[in-house]
Structure 1
Amino acid sequence: MAWTILSSWFFGVFLTSLTGTVSCFFWKLLEFVMEKKKQFRWIVFSGKLVIIFYLVPVIYLYIYFSEMLIANNTYMYTMVVTPVILYSIVAAFLIWFVGFCVGILRYFMQKQNLKLFVSCSVPADLKINRIKDEIEKRLALKQSVAVRFNSQCSVPVVMGVRKPVILLPEQEYDQKKLRIILEHELMHVKHRDLFWKHFLYWISKVHWFNYSFKCLTDDINGWNETYCDRDACYGEMAICTYEEYFDTILENARVKPTEKLLFTMYLYENKKGIKRRMVRMRHYHASKELRKVVVALLTVCFVGVSSVTAFAAGEGMLKGYDALTDTTANKLTEADVTNDVETIIPPGTDIGIIEIEVPARTRTYMDWTIPGDTGYRTGPFWVTKGKKIATSALISPGNKFINLGIIEPDGTRRQVSGMSAVAHTFDVNYTGGYCVFVENRASSEITVQLLYEAQ
């Protein structure tokens, strides 16, 4: 039972990752167009919206509710999970879980490294703190940010969500360039980029197997840098020109960061990144940015197209799953049935064994251990007239005799008998609630893998 739940959860993670990948693909196409048009506001905003598709299990919910039958205001799940599919998902879950645990371990190691890194720093002097306070006030920051010198720091860096801190290399700073450095790092705090860095990290550990999310994370972090560049050079409170700004960053780029810490935002990370930022900001004009209303409309269209595509992918996934179910289910039905002739038992007939109902309204695959001279049956599920109920059972040990059948709405029992492997498809003559049952006719305990489906 526990493995079934965990496997179902992982299946949802996998399908959600697929949804996110589809949305990310559309976003990358639009990003290319919008970058040419310098529409940075929309790119930054919509990029973060894509994350929703990696969180909300759209396809999983679509498949889940597509396989529901509704009767008397009650949902009955009819999706088949064959043993082969179940075991495959369990194996995939175990692999995913190992990768997830490695990510969690790395998180705690990095947090410890950050604490050690910050512990090697000392508070900045009063002059620097005054400049920092002026910028904080001008940017209307709601929290105070500490500034410290660090002997191990090669490039200015900001870190921390609840208690952010800026670390500066120990050197003399020109006042103008110091303002630019602090402006850039404090802009990250204002935009809550460090929160997004943490948030993306945790989601990436869930989707560690999906390369598309890594690409999305890198893109969002890169656009967060660009957005800070935009506000520092062209925003309403810009304090420098494009040339002055990137001259300061390029001066720091002479020293490549020697430390690689998670959950931090560096003034400069690599040559490729700084070149991309400079190209994006060249010839930028804030007045050409789309208005917020237009940005909102474009975003609604983007979400709508992504959702429709996700549902289409869900339909395709459902058909693929049905085909896979048919393929794997055949492994159960290929075995010979000892007696394929239906036996009909009228309602109220004493069948001579103890019968126990096993609630199973959300599963159509059962793994039962049935005591001797005992029968197990499922809870009722709704089937309409004209359909069929396909059943199959694997018995262990294979020399034990069972009855496999259905109970009709009026209580009539229809069954076939056999050993080792038993399979039969029952015609549905009446609309109503049906149960599937397995009777152990032996005196000793048996294990039964039961698969049934309303078709």
Structure 2
Amino acid sequence: MIYALIETSLTMSLIIALVLVFHHFFGDKYAAKWRYYIWFAVLIGLLLPFRPDFEHPLAIKAPVASESVIPAPTADVSDSMSKEIVATTPNQEIATSDFWSVPLIIFSIWLAGFIIFLAYNVWKHYRFLHMIRRWSDPVTDKAILTLFEKEKETMGVASKRIAIHMCAFEISPMLIGFRKPIVLLPNKPIDEEELALILRHELVHYKRKDLWVNTLLLLVTAIHWFNPAVYVMGKAVQNDCEESCDEALLQGADIEKRRRYGEAIIGLIRNKDVRRTALSTNFYGGKGH
């Protein structure tokens, strides 16, 4: 089983490299959403590392001898067999030593890494939620709430219960929460037009279920924690997710609206260090992106 995992991880590393090269040279030739969908297919391939080994239908099995054909052992043969069994009994220690085989040792190392990686990220997520509960408050500004409801209606999610909070510490706008989704905003002045674009950006994430894709990415990274290519892929997935979201948001927009949106992003990335969690969206993919 562990060898199947390693083999799959190495094979998918080659596919990840090919996809990265293809996106680098031809990514601007097609919509960002297709790059995002391609990564989703790669994630599924990485999530299913264990493939069943089906026996070939035409395989011919060796005939099994019938018990009736085997003659009963004579007394002398029985005595000699008993002596052999008694003689080999001490060798049970060899079988016990074989318990810690190489595959089991490798599997134990992988399992430890899987548990540590997943536990750390889950702990980090819940620590972030605790900070949010302590340092954020529901938005009470009627103008912002009215704008938010307007954007929800525009995105076709007016009936969904999505909260909007203002956070006291440095964050980028983000969507967080599966059962009770919350749009988090930094506690800083934002122009109304820019705020409308920011809110719509997070609502696009909500409508596309991108939080679940982030969960899938976290699980895949935990399974393949030993593979550096998976971490490179993770950054590419997040960047293409944000870019495809921007693309959906600005579809049909004129140059002025695009300029204002760009200014909104530039205004937010001046903050070098912003807190986030793996199970949240992010308004931008970093300064380089």
Classify the TM-score, shorter chain. 0.7 to 0.9
- 1:51 is aligned to 43
User: Which residue matches 2:13?
Assistant: 21
Amino acid at match of 2:12: G
Distance 2:11 2:191 in 1: 49
Deviation digits for residues 299-325 of structure 1, max 9, x if unmatched? xxxxxxxxxxxxxxxxxxxxxxxxxxx
- 2:132 match: 118
Please tell me the root mean square deviation across aligned C-alpha atoms, in Å. 2.9
Contact (CA 8 Å) 1:147, 1:166: kept in 2 or not?
yes
How far apart, in 1, do the equivalents of 2:192 and 2:52 lie? Answer: 56
CA distance in structure 2 between the partners assigned to 1:226 and 1:204 by the alignment:
21
Deviation at 1:219, TM superposition (A): 1.0
Correspondences of 1:148-163 after superposition (within 5 Å): 148-163=165-180
How far does the alpha carbon of each residue in 1:376-418 deviate from its partner, in whole angstroms, 9 at most, with x for none?
A: xxxxxxxxxxxxxxxxxxxxxxxxxxxxxxxxxxxxxxxxxxx
Q: Distance in 2 between matches of 1:51 and 1:272?
A: 24
The aligned residue for residue 271 of structure 1 is 287
Quick check: 1:232–1:240 contact (8 Å CA) kept in 2?
no
In the TM superposition, structure 1's runs of 4+ consecutive aligned residues that sit over 3 Å from their partners are 68-72, 237-240
Q: Percent identity?
A: 22
Q: How much has 1:111 moved relative to structure 2?
A: 2.9
Unaligned runs of 5+ in 1: 1-8, 73-82, 274-455
Greater length-normalized contact order (CA 8 Å, ≥ 6 residues apart): 2
Name the structure where helix makes up a greater proportion of residues.
2
2:228 to 211, 227, 237: 211
- What is the correspondence of 1:339-358 to structure 2 with a 5 Å cutoff? none
- State the AA in 2 paired with 1:230: E
Q: Does 1:244 align with 2:260?
A: yes
Matches within 5 A, 1:230-309: 230-235=247-252, 241-273=257-289
Question: 1:214 is matched by which residue type in structure 2?
Answer: Y
SS of 1:158's equivalent in the other structure is strand
Offset at 1:240? Answer: 6.2
Amino acid aligned to 1:179: A
Equivalent of 1:94, from 108, 127, 133? 108
Q: Deviations over 1:66-95 (max 9, x none)?
A: 7x94449xxxxxxxxxx99x8221111111
Kept in 2: contact 1:184–1:232 (CA 8 A): yes
Give the greater-gyration-radius structure (CA): 1
How many residue pairs are counted as aligned between the two chains?
252
Is contact 1:155-1:257 (8 Å) kept? no
Call closer, same or farther: CA 1:97–1:238 in 2, change over 3 Å: farther
1:326-337 matched pairs, under 5 angstroms: none
Whole-Å separation in 2 of the counterparts to 1:145 and 1:153: 21
Q: Distance in 1 between matches of 2:237 and 2:221?
A: 13
Which of 152, 156, 165 is matched with 1:140 structurally? 156
- Please state if 1:109 is matched with 2:118: no
Moved more, 200-209 or 151-160: 151-160
1:272–1:143 distance in 2 versus 1, CA, 3 Å:
same
